[in-house]
Amino acid sequence: MRGPGASLLFVGTLLTATGYGATFLLTEHFRSLGGSEIDTGTALAGAMIGTFVGVPLIGWVGARFGGARLAAIGALLVAAGYLLFAGISTLSGIIMVAGFIVGCGWGMFYLAAPMALSERVSDLDRGFWFTRFGAFQMAGIGGGPALALLLVDTLGLSTASLFRMLASGCLVAAACLWAFETMAPRPNRQVSANAGAASNWVMSIAALAGTRAIYPILMVGLGACVLTGMLTFQSSLARGSGLDASLYFTTYAAVVVVARFALAPAINRADGNRVSVLLLITMSTGVLAYFAIGYGAPVQVISGVLLGLGYGLVYTVIQTQVVNDAPEAHRTGALTWFVLSYFIGIFGFPALGGWLIVHWGTQAFLVVVLACALMELTLALARNRSHAGSPVGLAGPHT
């Protein structure tokens, strides 16, 4: 995991995540075609269905074929989905098909890439590498839309043109990820140990339900609702206020990247139980702050900073927890269920969120987003009170 191999993984992650970040521009794309937030919800509902194909596929065959190769295929599918979005001229059922392709590809990448990383590092180092992997991923997710909106404002590009550019980046990502599998081969012990467990990920939920791993599996779904709510509909939340949605994207992305690199050593040394609660309080405060958006850009920046610090840092904490809390024989299953829960939130919630905005307004929408944040905080507290015998702390049994 040193040298060019790690660089290929991180570049591929950044470019693929930038492609996924384009989903936050779907509302603007559909509005240019006469649509609304409801169409965004429809497209992302298709993406959620796609993840139910892509994620289980990785769970079944990932250990045999190599996570990085399957992540590369996922990047290719993301590119294909955005090319289809870019080619539509009228709103029809094709937006759900395009969403399905993007969701299938992003689902494959989202599970396969960290799986490829996890099988090459030790338990002690997993938090360190997940933190850095997540920094590149979040830089693409949050920074991509900000850069895209900047190109729209400065060059006058259409969203369709942007989707084609992002698709090209995903093709480069696929090449990087495929090369990573060759330059940083997996240890043979990991291939043999994970091959049998991967095919049994569906049944692993019964074993996981009796461990603390079930808490981060549920928590990540709620956190995904918060993230997708605040970013997917940021242009809708800012509309009419005179504020620029790109300010929120830029703030969020910058905070996540800086925080993950600057605070990673402290986060890795800290008690993961306490850190997760503190970060979820910060995330919830970020959502709460947005209710005061009438006070202008400073509130938008404060909300973006708090969301970046809270969600941006807690994700890697609970991602490490779900792996370390799970029995070793069910770690692949735990990570698979963790990702499925994430996608139910990230792609499923916009269907509800779009309906809420259109029919009830942004204030009602923000109330629901805040409720999701507080429910995740409640689960973190419940996990800390549990007496399961699984390892605790961010770095596993060494903490």
Radius of gyration for the alpha carbons in the chain, expressed in angstroms and rounded:
20
pLDDT of 1 strictly over 60:
no
CA–CA separation, 379 and 385 (whole Å) = 10
Q: Where are the domains of the chain?
A: 4-179+204-387
Percent of the chain with pLDDT over 70: 90
- pTM (2 decimals)? 0.80
Average pLDDT over residues 252-281: 85
Residues 6+ apart with CB under 8 A from 257: 135, 138, 139, 143
CA–CA separation, 116 and 69 (whole Å) = 9
CATH topology of domain 4-179+204-387: Growth Hormone; Chain: A; (1.20.1250)
Banded model confidence at residue 395, pLDDT cuts 50, 70, 90:
very low
| Tokens 């919830």 -> residue | 284
pLDDT of 228 strictly over 80:
yes
Average predicted confidence (pLDDT) for the chain: 85
Which pLDDT tens digit goes with each residue over 323-362?
Answer: 888 887 787 788 888 988 998 999 889 989 999 999 999 9
Of 3 and 87, the structure prediction assigns the larger pLDDT to: 87
Nearest CA among 38, 179, 22 for reference residue 105 = 22
Average pLDDT over residues 375-398: 66
Percent of the chain with pLDDT over 90: 41
Task: Give the sign of the dihedral formed by CA 221, CA 383, CA 337, CA 278.
Answer: positive
The pLDDT of residue 328 is 76
The pLDDT of residue 49 is 93
DSSP code per residue over 162-218: HHHHHHHHHHHHHHHHHHHHHHSPPPHHHHHHHHHHHHTTTTHHHHHTTSTTHHHHH
Task: Give the sign of the dihedral formed by CA 151, CA 156, CA 161, CA 163.
Answer: positive
The pLDDT of residue 312 is 84
What is the DSSP secondary structure assignment for residue 1, as one 8-state letter? -
Banded model confidence at residue 300, pLDDT cuts 50, 70, 90:
very high
